[in-house]
Amino acid sequence: MDPAETVHNTLISALRTGALPPVRTALSPEQAGLSAPELVGMFQSQILSRQLDRIARKLQGRGEGFYTIGSSGHEGNAALATASRVGDIAFLHYRDAAFQIERARQLPGQTPVWDMLLSFAASAEDPISGGRHKVLGSKVLNIPPQTSTIASHLPKAVGAAFSIGIAGKLGLETPLAEDAVVLCSFGDASANHSTAQGAINCASWAAYQGSPMPIVFLCEDNGIGISTRTPAGWIAASFAHRPALEYIACDGSHLLESYRAARQAIDHARARRSPVFLHMQTTRLYGHAGSDMQASYMAKQEIVQHEARDPLLHGAALLAGLGIMTPSEILAMYEEAEETVARVAEEAIQRPKLTSSAEVMASIVPPRRASPRLNRPATEERAALFAGDETQMDKPQHMARLLSWALADLMLAHPQIVVAGEDVGPKGGVYNVTAKLHARFGSGRVINTLLDEQSILGLGIGFAHNGMLSITEIQFLAYVHNAEDQLRGEAATLSFFSNGQYTNPMIVRVAGLGYQKGFGGHFHNDNSLAIFRDIPGVVLACPSNGRDAVAMLRECVRLALEEQRVVVFVEPIALYMTRDLHQEGDLLWASTYEAPGEASPIPLGSVGCRGTGTDLAIVSYGNGFYLSCQAHKVLEDAHGVSARVIDLRWLAPVDADALLAAVGPCGRVLIVDECRVTGSQSEALMALFAEQAPHIRASRIAAEDSFIPLGRAATLTLPGRDSIVAAALEAVRG
């Protein structure tokens, strides 16, 4: 028999015969802080969650449902919904259907059963994902959608909690109230993941220093992750004695104890603005999912023991023992829920599905919103901000300094912008790009983080959930790999899986690429951008010079504020301090700073061009564009080749029309790519020219498929001026 039906029949039999388990608590509803109707309502939410699990399996068997990771055995999480407010944003574990159903009771007019069944059936009318995934979530209930996460949602929950205190400090009006609490839940197996460990450590690290961190971590401990056991006592041993982290334990099969613990956790986080680890013992009924046959790795007696801890059995025993409901009344409630869910399911599976790729992709790019009101600082205010730099601002400067001034102007104009990352504070960053920002704007807007890229990116996502815009910094491109799922699996998917209802606009500044002299090896000279380029919806910018960097950063802020985009802004380290192009002192790669309103904008997709020659178009970006400009002079002076050099600037999405127009009448194109032959931008560009401009003869020069070594050998695998000249001559002469 299907394990779900075994559990179902056991409950039915116990209610019919009155053979319910003994009540193992002397706690009364009044002592727990609940009224009898509230207790019954919570239990009814648990019943609806259970019946949804059962129907999900039946729908899958008919080919009408597509998700069977259920909540059965975890229904105790309803207690946290009862204890919290709708205003407390909740990032949920995928076994938390009872939480969402119970929270829906707090708002009139909600239809959680209908909503979840539309999700089960992958209907285009699913109110949260629009048929893109079975996810828990609701905009009106303040539950952002989560997919099948391995605790990857914890960093952004920590970021959201941290943002509440920062918003209060700055006097900003944000979606999360000043006394709001952030909730996030996860399983005991996920607690071992580096993402969970890092997020909880980050919350403790911040709280230990006195930073407000109003968050409740709900660990639903069922003792197993698919088939891998969690050692007995492991969660308590791991989390009960963390610094600045309150630990509270409860048994999720007992409604009153669960509620009392949840109430205690919420009250602690709300009043003290500090993190709580709520450890709820649960049981996993049926196995991990519909396809998981737990009898293959679990003894029959152990399965029976798990089934004996069914929260519905113990909830029924409690209600009957307190005289609130009779077993027959509970059975009638259970059967009525079964009939309701079955009837609604038949209607839900008939609703429309997504039928085209355009419909599927419609929510990858978020909907535009009205631009927030711009703070136009008075002339005196801006003059005071740059008082220490006024003598330098009319002189040519390198990229790092220009970016620093651009950041200051942006922060002055947009009070909701915060800059965050390791060493961005008083030090000004490793390359001095955030110099003086801390002195100008204070620690509430220039935030020194701990060394954990997952937490840094999570902070950015969480701040966006609270209506703020983060410009986070990752010190080196290679360090992104420690945290890339925060971009790929969390930031970039939110609009997609919420049908555009939720967005997390953010800007991630990344120092990277090759050619850095003097230190590093491959960790500081990483020449691969592939991890960004294949994430749908993410904007990837890469300026090659200071003037462009300023204009492009301003466009990135516009993209985030108006178009709600996730933006990665890659800054070539080797060009940070570069002033000269052909010879020392020519200052051809330095620029004066153009204040807001003075510079020509560089919209998303627009390309740059130097030269008007038609013999050859050299297409590049970043360091490659700089080297190609050097090669351009050699080609013209020494070889009589009339060329033009195109700067892509925006690597994702590439505006094919703009690029083809820039190439213009040139019959030959040379692509210069500082990233590796395999997986680089040049591969995509070669395909673009082959498919959309077959009359153009395209070739490429790219870095070797190698890591970058230390010292003088650092550039041996990379394109250089002379190798570009050689490749260009070969392209022109055929």
Q: What is the arithmetic mean of pLDDT over 586-602?
A: 94
526-536: pLDDT as tens digits: 889 999 999 99
554-569: pLDDT as tens digits: 999 999 999 999 999 9
Which pLDDT score, from 0 to 100, does residue 456 have?
A: 96
C-alpha to C-alpha distances, 590 to 546, 573, 574, 585, 727, nearest whole angstrom: 7, 15, 14, 10, 28
217-275: pLDDT as tens digits: 999 999 888 888 899 999 999 999 999 999 999 999 999 999 999 999 999 999 999 99
Closest CA to 79 of 205, 218, 214: 218
**Residue that wins the pLDDT comparison between 292 and 650:** 650
Which pLDDT score, from 0 to 100, does residue 69 have?
A: 86
Q: Residue 711 — pLDDT band, cuts 50, 70, 90? A: confident
User: Directed axis angle between helix 154-170 and helix 194-208, to 10°?
Assistant: 20
- Say whether pLDDT at 676 is over 80: yes
Domains in the chain, start-ordered, CATH in brackets?
3-352 (3.40.50.970), 379-575 (3.40.50.970), 608-733 (3.40.50.920)
The region of weakest confidence among 218-227, 465-474, 707-716 is: 707-716
- Say whether pLDDT at 517 is over 90: no
Which pLDDT score, from 0 to 100, does residue 373 have?
A: 67
The distance of Cα 288 from the centroid of its chain, to the nearest Å, equals: 25
Q: What is the arithmetic mean of pLDDT over 273-288?
A: 94
Which pLDDT score, from 0 to 100, does residue 378 have?
A: 77
**Rounded Cα–Cα distance for residues 98 and 49 (Å):** 5
Q: Residue 472 — pLDDT band, cuts 50, 70, 90? A: very high
**Is-contact 120 347, C-beta < 8 A?**
no
- Say whether pLDDT at 148 is over 70: no
The distance of Cα 37 from the centroid of its chain, to the nearest Å, equals: 39
Peptide bond connecting 603 to the previous residue in cis, omega within 30 degrees of 0: no
83-135: pLDDT as tens digits: 999 999 999 999 999 999 999 999 999 999 999 999 999 999 999 999 999 88
Over the chain, what is the mean pLDDT?
94
Percentage of the chain exceeding pLDDT 90: 85
Which pLDDT score, from 0 to 100, does residue 303 have?
A: 86
Which residues are known catalytic residues? 524
- Say whether pLDDT at 520 is over 70: no
Which pLDDT score, from 0 to 100, does residue 586 have?
A: 96
- Say whether pLDDT at 372 is over 70: no
Which pLDDT score, from 0 to 100, does residue 295 have?
A: 83
DSSP SS3 for 136: strand
Which pLDDT score, from 0 to 100, does residue 525 have?
A: 85
